[in-house]
Homo-oligomer: A and B are copies of this chain.
């Protein structure tokens, strides 16, 4: 009936032309009338008391409109943080990391603002710093935060338990009798592991414009979670939600770096003081101290029988969340959650701690938690396979959970064919084929609890000419959400995608969407779009049924019209008929909400995202350089609404996984980031592409999203490092510390760390 379907086709991105032509507008392209330029003075020290701060000389400079310091926040409770309210809008009396904002200036132009920063006098009194996990966890370590932890608006992790010292959050779970299981097992492997701090590196650093008016606060921001940012701003400035407006232009990449609230409160506070709109645009080095991925220390042991059945796993992980919690508690919980891996354990026990240190705050980054832990668990699986003499693929096939099996008590059963998935990547990297010298192959399998809270709403407005406007709160950050929603709406309404226009987010107009992240947009926001379109379709069918005097069941939609056998009424005709004129519109709504409880990771998840990777690598014994010959991952997407976008997402995640495994590390010395430029911080380039690169799309229609879709785009980042590490293991190299830079590998091969 609808031969013109576009769902499932590689339709060109709706924003392709605009972006290719440089016409797409990002936050940094916007000019708001009367807008000032904001710059931020940052602490040079990782831990200090602010003895004195004097902005008066800066204030006297011509063209300087405001200088903001912690003293300007006395009329408000200036602490925010979606999980834990531990972060001041701007430093108050104390700094906790090198790079923390201590003052901000709004001036007529950026150069004047820079001059003003130089004119601000700050006297610091050094305080002892705990700039590493070890230092922060040592007895007698200086404490970053005193007093009880205050839950943020979206902590969502049950009651916060204050532990001693610098523990920000502790995640624990235990199943089965752990001691007995390990005692009864034939084989055990055990080790300590290190995961580096890495930077999400989006092309566009954080940029925010804030404007106050009689109607409240308006913020233009490159944020992934505009509705949560709105809530935090409303909470900070004591405004109703309906008086805070967050507008999201195109975003130049997010990867988690723009999730939750970042530069928005500071920009809003500065604009409030200046009485004028203000833009703050981070430089790259400033973005690198605004958020990052948690570095981690981990201890893990895994046991199996000598016949190749997994028995038990125990894990303890300490994640460095920096000076403020940001998303640390959730990252720790998700890491803990990912620690066991998708196997049929008799017992498992996990503890994961988020730990405060005097370093820049760590938050979300693609596949957080899973990226931290999967490679470790999977390297122990390989080690056990080797001990049993079983092929690692065969070992996994025996022990992996099957669709419908319980992953976690009471949670979503497994909705993916992991054995099929891993078999596919194995084949793609030449599993079982002849291996040249210094060539190794590895596999990695994991699961990522995805979807966040499944709360999305959407609206579709079918206009009098039969074109439709889709209102949905997903941030378009390059992932192609507007294209995918266009495809869904076009098919549901049976019109050409040229008739669909998906708008950007403006919280004052766009229906609520929980967030853009957690691989949730196609699955959850897309479902809301699908339902909104169905609502419009139902209205069209009703109008046509009324016009013809026929039951709705005898009608269908096709090519922009309602049909009864060979008779049709176009949507334009139906709207005109309904409203008695050329005008009016039909509005449909779609709503997605949890089927029970909060539907969050903890109770859900909405779906399991697979993290399945395979790699064939070659190591240069002279230099320690790893060359990736073949790389494969599975995008187990349920249904690929747009296969090219699925592949692009998966490939991006793979390449960031390669970066995480081989290149990337933010290096701190005494709390100072010493490689805060892209000259020193190494990300993968085109030259690092594998010789063969396969993204295998699996479509079993087993997801909860539209047409059985489920999210992808994160899993590969957690699957690839384990595959590379296991490929090195295949060569006898036991890697327990990422990234595997040539130097580190060279030392490892020579037994010197």
Contacts and interface: CB of A to CB of B under 8 A. Distances in A.
Interface of A: 15, 17-18, 21, 23-25, 29-34, 153-154, 156, 213-215, 227-228, 231, 234, 240-243, 453, 455, 457, 459, 461, 463-465, 467-469, 471, 498-501, 503, 506, 508-512, 514, 578-585, 587, 589, 591, 593-594, 596-600
B33 A455 contact: no
Residue from A25, A33, A499, A506 whose CB has the most chain B CB atoms within 10 Å: A33
Given A241-B464, A581-B594, 11 more contacts: A18-B215, A156-B581, A227-B583, A231-B582, A453-B580, A457-B587, A503-B509, A511-B585, A511-B587, A514-B581, A584-B591
B585 A457 contact: yes
Contacts of A227: 583
A596 B25 CA distance: 45
Contact of A510 (B34, B228, B509, B599): B509
Nearest to A535: B589
Given A31-B31, A461-B511, A501 B214 contact: no
Contacts of A582: 153-154, 231
Contacts of A29: 33
A21 B512 CA distance: 32
A577 to B, nearest CB: 10
Contact of A23 (B214, B579, B580, B597): B214
A255 to B, nearest CB: 23
Given A455-B584, A582-B154, A587-B589, A509 B512 contact: no
Contact of A213 (B23, B453, B580): B23
B242 A468 contact: yes
A514 B582 CA distance: 10
18 contacts: A18-B213, A21-B214, A23-B214, A31-B33, A31-B34, A154-B582, A240-B463, A241-B467, A455-B583, A457-B585, A459-B587, A469-B509, A512-B583, A512-B584, A514-B581, A580-B594, A580-B597, A580-B598
Nearest to A19: B214
A453 B578 CA distance: 13
A215 B597 CA distance: 40
Contacts of A597: 580
Contacts of A15: 214
A511 to B, nearest CB: 6
Contacts of A153: 582
Contacts of A31: 31-34
A118 B47 CA distance: 66
A547 to B, nearest CB: 14
A241 B587 contact: no
SS of A interface (majority): loop
A156 B579 CA distance: 14
A583 B594 CA distance: 12
Contact of A581 (B578, B589, B598): B598
A509 B597 CA distance: 32
Contact of A579 (B231, B463, B587, B593): B593
A195 B503 CA distance: 49
Given A18-B215, A242-B463, A599 B587 contact: no
A468 B464 CA distance: 27
Contact of A465 (B18, B33, B241, B506): B241
Nearest to A469: B242
A103 to B, nearest CB: 28
Contact of A215 (B468, B501, B581, B596): B501
A594 B584 CA distance: 11
Contacts of A453: 579-581, 583
A239 to B, nearest CB: 9
Nearest to A214: B18
Contacts of A514: 581, 583-584
Nearest to A584: B455
A243 B501 contact: yes
A589 B467 CA distance: 20
Nearest to A514: B583
A501 B599 CA distance: 31
A174 to B, nearest CB: 26
Contact of A599 (B461, B498, B580, B591): B580
Contacts of A214: 15, 17-18, 21, 23-24
Nearest to A503: B508
Residue from A18, A29, A580 whose CB has the most chain B CB atoms within 10 Å: A580
Contacts of A503: 508-509
A682 B307 CA distance: 103
A579 B455 contact: yes
Contacts of A589: 587, 589
Contact of A593 (B506, B509, B580): B580
A477 to B, nearest CB: 17
Contacts of A18: 213-215
A508 B591 CA distance: 20
A506 B455 CA distance: 26
Contacts of A587: 457, 459, 511, 589
Nearest to A18: B214
